[in-house]
């Protein structure tokens, strides 16, 4: 369906990319990248549950697999970004939204103060089943099904999958305790000069929206949170480049990238709810 910019409402976008039968434009008002027209809300919801999206090039399977290395990675990130917050050792209540196979839930359980409560919610049933097989507290419940308020709500590489983040983000902010943190990771694609600077497939229509720090700052302001800190990290190390080359070769595609050359970054954000 045709849609205006989901961040600023502007209906004027410059063509930026086309993939799998879907067009992505760059808003001339705020710079957000978004798919337009996009699939219906029902199609988006159904695809997120099974992990397969329909497109011009056939089915796009995004189910991936469990990676223990992700738990080690996020344990390190969480220690760096939350260590000072937890110096008093007070238990916290953490909700991971779009928890996948539970790698981030496992990382929080390893790093949060003793006695903390951690829960993950995930719409994709195969991922929920795998996380539960691993003994991780991940369920297919919706946000409305989880009671209480939280000290931290995390969305790790979930932002781009949400068609209307302002509405969803406001619902998340409402579930934070005063002084609580929305912890979010997403890429900086909206900072790139062109599609050619993006180091991989865009995976449309699984990905619907791409932002960068200016758009995320605007987003946090609109949902009533204060951007406290953000950290950018490169993604195109040697191992990443080799994995991408193999993955695309299996699809019959050629993708060769030199490590350390891409301006694309993954960005971690800490946005805090006012204490009163």
Q: pLDDT truncated to tens, each residue of the chain (276 aa)?
A: 789 999 999 999 999 999 999 999 999 999 999 999 999 888 888 878 777 777 767 667 776 788 899 999 999 999 999 999 999 999 999 999 999 999 999 999 999 999 999 999 999 988 999 999 999 999 999 999 999 999 999 999 999 999 989 999 999 999 999 999 999 999 999 999 999 999 888 999 999 999 999 999 999 999 999 999 999 999 876 555 566 555 655 556 656 566 667 899 999 999 999 997
CATH value at residue 62: 3.40.50.150
Q: Is residue 188 included in any domain, yes or no?
A: yes
Full domain range(s) for residue 223: 13-272
**Dihedral, CA atoms, 179, 189, 45, 247, nearest 10 degrees?**
-120
- Residue at 7 is within a domain: no
Sign of CA dihedral 93, 96, 99, 104: negative
Domain membership of residue 81 (yes or no) is yes
Q: Would you say residue 2 lies in a domain?
A: no
pLDDT at 49: 76
Task: Answer yes or no: is 25 within a domain.
Answer: yes
Output the pLDDT for position 236: 74
203: left (phi over 0), alpha (psi -120 to 50) or beta: left
Q: Per the domain annotation, does 91 fall within a domain?
A: yes
- Backbone dihedral region for residue 135 (phi beyond 0: left; psi -120 to 50: alpha; all else: beta): left
Helix locations, the chain, DSSP H: 41-50, 68-82, 103-111, 125-133, 165-174, 213-222, 238-250
Number of structural domains the chain divides into: 1
């Amino acid at each position: 369906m045709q849609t205006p910019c989901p961040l600023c409402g502007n209906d004027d976008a410059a063509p930026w990319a086309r993939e799998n039968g879907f067009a992505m434009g760059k808003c001339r008002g705020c710079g957000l990248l978004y798919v337009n027209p996009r699939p219906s809300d029902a199609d988006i919801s159904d695809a997120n549950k099974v992990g397969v999206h329909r497109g011009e090039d056939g089915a796009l399977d995004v189910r991936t697999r469990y990676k223990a290395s992700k738990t080690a990675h996020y344990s390190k990130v969480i220690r760096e970004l939350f260590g000072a917050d937890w110096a008093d050792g007070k238990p916290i209540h953490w909700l991971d939204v779009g928890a996948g196979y539970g790698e981030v839930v496992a990382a929080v359980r390893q790093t949060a103060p003793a006695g903390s409560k951690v829960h993950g919610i995930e719409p994709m049933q195969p991922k929920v089943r795998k996380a539960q097989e691993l003994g991780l507290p991940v369920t297919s419940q919706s946000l409305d099904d989880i009671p209480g308020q939280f000290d931290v709500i995390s969305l790790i590489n979930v932002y781009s999958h949400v068609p209307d983040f302002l509405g969803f983000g406001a619902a998340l902010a409402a579930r934070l305790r005063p002084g609580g943190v929305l912890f979010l990771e997403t890429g900086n694609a909206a900072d790139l000069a062109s599609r050619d600077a993006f180091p991989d497939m865009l995976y449309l229509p699984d990905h619907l929206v791409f932002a960068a720090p200016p758009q995320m700052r605007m987003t946090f302001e609109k949902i009533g949170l204060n951007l406290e800190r953000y950290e950018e990290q490169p993604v195109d190390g040697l191992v990443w480049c080799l994995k991408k080359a193999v993955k695309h070769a299996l699809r019959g595609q050629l993708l060769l990238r030199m490590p350390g050359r891409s301006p694309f970054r993954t960005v971690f954000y800490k946005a805090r709810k006012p204490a009163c």
